[in-house]
Amino acid sequence: MRTELKVPEIGESITEVEIGDWLKSAGEQVRKDEPLVTLESEKATVELPAPDSGTLAEALRKKGEVAKVGEVIGYLESGGAPPKKEATPATKQEIKAAPAKAEAQPNKTEQPRVMPAAQVALEERGLRAEQVQGTGPGGRILKEDVERFVEQTAEKPAAPAPAENKTPVTSNRSVSVDRQEEVVPMTRLRRTVAERLVQAQHNAALLTTFNEADMSGVMALRKEYGEAFQKKYEVKLGFMSFFVKASVDALKQFPALNAQVRDTNIVYHNYFDIGIAVGGGKGLVVPVLRNAERLSFAEVELAIGDFARRARENKLKVEELQGGTFTISNGGVYGSLLSTPIVNAPQSGVLGLHAIQARPVAREGNVVIRPMMYLALTYDHRLVDGREAVSALKRIKEAVENPARMLMEI
């Protein structure tokens, strides 16, 4: 029985997706729930599982094409591959005679069958099907065959030309080889990120305020309790949980930073869904810690670690990337010393963390060396006043410098 493979509903605001890699080729057997193809939406990359065991009969959409939700993009032949027919005596005789016919007519060659994913790979690399040895059923050329051929070709050094045919390489030729360009289409996720960042710049009045935090208190606390914390909860006590707690504390004091503009109204949120920017396999994504005010330090660290792992594997769910009332972005893990983060619309604030550096600072009339971190708070000036933004960032600084304040709630 032939089953239609349709684009599933990914999210309430998503109407179309971009076809990613086909994980199975036409004619290849699949098991039930085994991933068939990746679908890239504006928020996440998901996999379409096989509704039943069988054979991928046909892929109607190629990689890079756009399909709407509910559209048929392929067919699955349920029930597995058809049984092989036993060869009759006549068939066996024809098989034995086949080599002789091939010798009698050496000029006639059969065109190799190319799977859709392999055809795309051939076109991208400017290759012909005749150059690649197929290893699929019936000698079909698979995408893996093309990639293997490219790797083997790259490993082999180019054969030197005969002496009489050698021509000097001109400077123009060497320049053209060194100045090659590669044109790669933007992924749907990257296009959406770009559009929304530009939209945030145009639709909001963004302003950034800066401060710096002495990380000595947090580092001493991690050194004293880090080993016991990891032994009990099986996760390291990182810096991010302190900043999540400090941000929630500041947002309670200055609720405009936890609000958003909706038409001509201001919507104040009585909950704290903190977005944590993490690097994914296809770019920066911002999964959300729901009700962060209710989470313990261990729960925050476990959730962030899980987000980071699944982001690298492109396995975050769409609903985990939706919503959020405030965002924290840590550019310090990549070595950033100072930056101006952009608000994740329709939110009104984003906290930027940076690298910790040992710097000389004045303490009680003396110059001492302390581990310092620059903090940046970008806010929407349409509903957050400068006084509120500066005071909120100062509150975060004070909470991080004296972590006991977060536990005492003072």
Angstrom distance (rounded) from CA 273 to CA 294: 10
Q: What is the DSSP code string of 143-208?
A: HHHHHHHHHHHHHSPPPPPPGGG--PPPHHHHHHHHT-----PPPHHHHHHHHHHHHHHHHS-EEE
Catalytic positions, written as ranges = 381, 385
Angstrom distance (rounded) from CA 357 to CA 373: 7
User: For residue 187, which phi and psi values (nearest 5 degrees)?
Assistant: -70, 160
The whole-angstrom distance between residue 88's C-alpha and the CA centroid of its chain comes to: 54
Instruction: Count the neighbouring beta carbons within 10 Å of the beta carbon of residue 154.
Output: 8
Helix or strand run (H / E) with residue 361 = strand 349-363
Q: What SS3 state is found at 296?
A: coil
Selection from 314, 68, 313, 324 nearest residue 196 by Cα: 324
Q: What SS3 state is found at 224?
A: helix
Question: Where does residue 37 fall: left (phi above 0), alpha (psi -120 to 50 degrees), or beta otherwise?
Answer: beta
As given in the structure block, the two tokens for residue 79 are 């029930």
Selection from 122, 136, 116 nearest residue 75 by Cα: 116
Angstrom distance (rounded) from CA 374 to CA 397: 10
The whole-angstrom distance between residue 230's C-alpha and the CA centroid of its chain comes to: 28
Q: Are 129 and 109 in contact (CB under 8 A)?
A: no
